Structure 1
Amino acid sequence: MKYFYTGASNVPNFPEFVAVTLVDEIQITHYDSNTRRKVPTQDWMKRVTEEDPNYWERGSGILMAHQQWFKTNMEIMKQRFNQSGGVHVIQRMYGCEWDDETDEVKGYDRHGYDGEDFIILDLKTETWIAPVQQAVPSKHKWENNKAELAYWKHYLTTECVDWLKKYVEFGRSSLMRKDLPSVSLLQKTPSSPLTCHATGFYPDRADLFWKKDEEELHEDVVRGEILPNHDGSFQMSVDLDLSGLQDEDWGRYRLHPGLVAGGVVVAVLVVLAGCFIGLIFYLKKRLKGKVETLLSSSGSLMCVC
């Protein structure tokens, strides 16, 4: 679970303060300084009132206080960095991770200013790390406040995890689903990189890679990040640069239709030189549910899920 707080100064068409909560990268709540209301962004989050009837009202009040804290600290940050005006952003990301198999728990708290790390909590040593000189005063002040430090350690390792478990239970049908991807192979021109694109998978633990002769390729390969889709699923792509191929090699490519696991029809380019692309889909935190379906004989280039 992650809490993202953003305080903005002079950013056009953007609220002064925004707070969102994410569980497994799915947004579940929203608050901003224009509405001053914390609201659910998933229908199943409305069930939280069964546990706490005043959850939304109390949450709105807490975030109003955070909004004022961010506004005050924006001015402090400007002073420390010798800034008088301009566009500036303060962000905070904190939360917890819970492994439902090992019961291992991790907590984290990071603050940033204008896109750079400002100060980071080290829970193991119960100290604050100051990557920039301007954060040193905050480091000393926060470390001297032992009661506050103890509170946040307890919250991040206990209370946060308790709420996370409740949210997972409320949204189990959505958060615990396992959707396989649709995979397609794309190329704009013969000189463009060959792109394998996978979309519609959930959760976001997946790996996409090129293989040649059973070995994973690293050279001439550009991996994209895992990105969210509007429906809550995820997508990713990986490019293979073919610019090094000789002109005579292009005659060895032809278009070949195939089926991938799950019955999804894709058009794939077959190269007789002998490579294939594989997608390993991580259904849980460890490698599970790996399905590799070779669509033709050895020596073909294809998308596999």
Structure 2
Amino acid sequence: MWLVVLVFVGVHFAYAGKHSLKYFYTGVSGDIDFPEFTAVGLVDDEQFMYFDSNKKEAVPKTEWMKQNEGADYWDRQTQPLIGSHQTFKNNIQFLKEWFNQSAGVHTLQRMYGCEWDDQTEATNAFKQYGYDGEDFVSLDWKELRYFSPVQQGVQTAQNWNNKKGFLENDRNYYSIVCIEWLKNYLQYGKRRLQKMVSPRVSLLQKSSSSSVSCHATGFYPSGVTITWMRNGQELHEDVDLSELLPNEDGTFQRTSTIKFTPDEYKNNKFSCVVEHQGKTMTANEIRTNNADSAPISIIVGVVAVVLLMFSGVAGYLVYWKKEKLGPNTSAVDSATSLLSSDSSSVENTKGPKKRDTR
């Protein structure tokens, strides 16, 4: 396998730190009004491509992808995803047998990708499979070995570990090809991706006896830290941090919720501290809403989730419970005793061609 290494000279991103390229594949079986297979690609958590088994066509989701890649590129992305659809269908059938399941809705997901720090040049990679919302098989990138937290996945992990060519393909893709495509996509979308928008922070509560939510919304990029303080000391107990959610406009939102009694609030000073891209915002005034009404910002968030379900990010949102920070080839094991190894990736085995993107 020949690899073309693309070198960027003089490229500067407006915000420094980690950048990521992630893909989420989701296969669904059962009686559900949704495509059997979807694939979503994200750069720095912004969706840039989409594929589903109904339309059978990979398509761009951002203007910067439409402007920089043509029909040939999207044709090359479509073919491995069509193959992944069939592989996922077969694997779900295997998994239903292993888990003694005969009916109902079941999901198989694959998340993979890479990270690159534009300051330190450090890189990282991840590849994980989940079944029905739980971890199934994961790649330990440092050791370049697969492992499984469940008995049903041990044999699959061992099988993949014994395939030296399979592991070498992983090494080449995640350490070279994925990183170069990430840099290429960042260059394509630098005007969009380099923006920085600070969050709006609110403390929200339905009634004096309900939990208090610290809601940060409208921020970009996605990295944000939410901390609860009581009398100047950090609070960690009884704090519930929600998943990161995208808004319609490409920004993000996140909520941290805490429970305390009216007396505790009266006798102590509570505040919420939100850190984003070196800036710190603090909120300490609670906005209380009537029981039959919800904060406008929360309503917007719910609408955003519904819209995303229809735009193809369902695989991203359905991804298994733990928060994870993801070649036109497919190695499929036909033995029914082992999970088929879908090693396809939407990028070519070769790196991106060097091009003028000014």
CA contact (8 A) 2:209 2:262 kept: no
CA contact (8 A) 1:179 1:200 kept: yes
Q: How does 1:162-181 map to 2 (within 5 A)?
A: 162-181=180-199
Q: CA deviation at 1:244?
A: 5.0
Q: CA deviation at 1:146?
A: 0.7
CA distance, structure 2, for counterparts of residue 78 and residue 196 of structure 1: 40
Q: CA deviation at 1:25?
A: 1.5
Kindly name which structure, 1 or 2, has the bigger radius of gyration based on alpha carbons. 1
1:40 matches 2:60: yes
C-alpha change, 1:160 and 1:242, in structure 2 (3 Å) is same
Partner of 1:277 in structure 2?
A: 271
Larger RCO (CA under 8 A, 6+ residues apart): 2
Partner of 2:32 in structure 1?
A: 12
Partner of 2:160 in structure 1?
A: 142
C-alpha change, 1:150 and 1:186, in structure 2 (3 Å) is same
Q: How does 1:258-273 map to 2 (within 5 A)?
A: none
CA distance, structure 2, for counterparts of residue 140 and residue 194 of structure 1: 47
**Structure 1: 5+ residue runs without aligned partners?**
251-272, 295-300
Q: How does 1:1-305 map to 2 (within 5 A)?
A: 1-49=21-69, 54-219=72-237, 221-243=239-261, 245=263, 275=269, 277-283=271-277, 288-290=278-280, 301-302=284-285
CA distance, structure 2, for counterparts of residue 193 and residue 86 of structure 1: 35
Moved over 4 A (4+): none
The CA deviation string for residues 158-212 of structure 1, in whole angstroms up to 9 with x for no partner, is: 1001101111111112222110122223232232333332211111211223323
CA distance, structure 2, for counterparts of residue 194 and residue 40 of structure 1: 39
Residue 163 of structure 1 aligns with an amino acid whose one-letter code is: W
Normalised by the length of structure 1, the TM-score is 0.79
CA distance, structure 1, for counterparts of residue 162 and residue 103 of structure 2: 31
CA distance, structure 2, for counterparts of residue 143 and residue 189 of structure 1: 54
CA contact (8 A) 1:48 1:55 kept: no
Q: CA deviation at 1:107?
A: 0.9
Q: Which has the higher strand share?
A: 1
Residue 275 of structure 1 aligns with an amino acid whose one-letter code is: K
C-alpha change, 1:33 and 1:277, in structure 2 (3 Å) is same
CA distance, structure 1, for counterparts of residue 168 and residue 130 of structure 2: 22
Residue 279 of structure 2 aligns with an amino acid whose one-letter code is: G
Q: Percent identity?
A: 42
The CA deviation string for residues 268-289 of structure 1, in whole angstroms up to 9 with x for no partner, is: xxxxx66352433321xxxx23
The CA deviation string for residues 236-286 of structure 1, in whole angstroms up to 9 with x for no partner, is: 23334341507xx86xxxxxxxxxxxxxxxxxxxxxx66352433321xxx
Residue 289 of structure 1 aligns with an amino acid whose one-letter code is: K
Residue 61 of structure 1 aligns with an amino acid whose one-letter code is: Q
Q: CA deviation at 1:148?
A: 1.4
Q: CA deviation at 1:95?
A: 0.7
CA contact (8 A) 1:182 1:198 kept: yes
The CA deviation string for residues 108-156 of structure 1, in whole angstroms up to 9 with x for no partner, is: 1111211121111122222210222222332232122111110111101
C-alpha change, 1:162 and 1:277, in structure 2 (3 Å) is same
**Structure 2: 5+ residue runs without aligned partners?**
1-20, 287-358
Residue 230 of structure 1 aligns with an amino acid whose one-letter code is: E
Q: CA deviation at 1:302?
A: 4.0
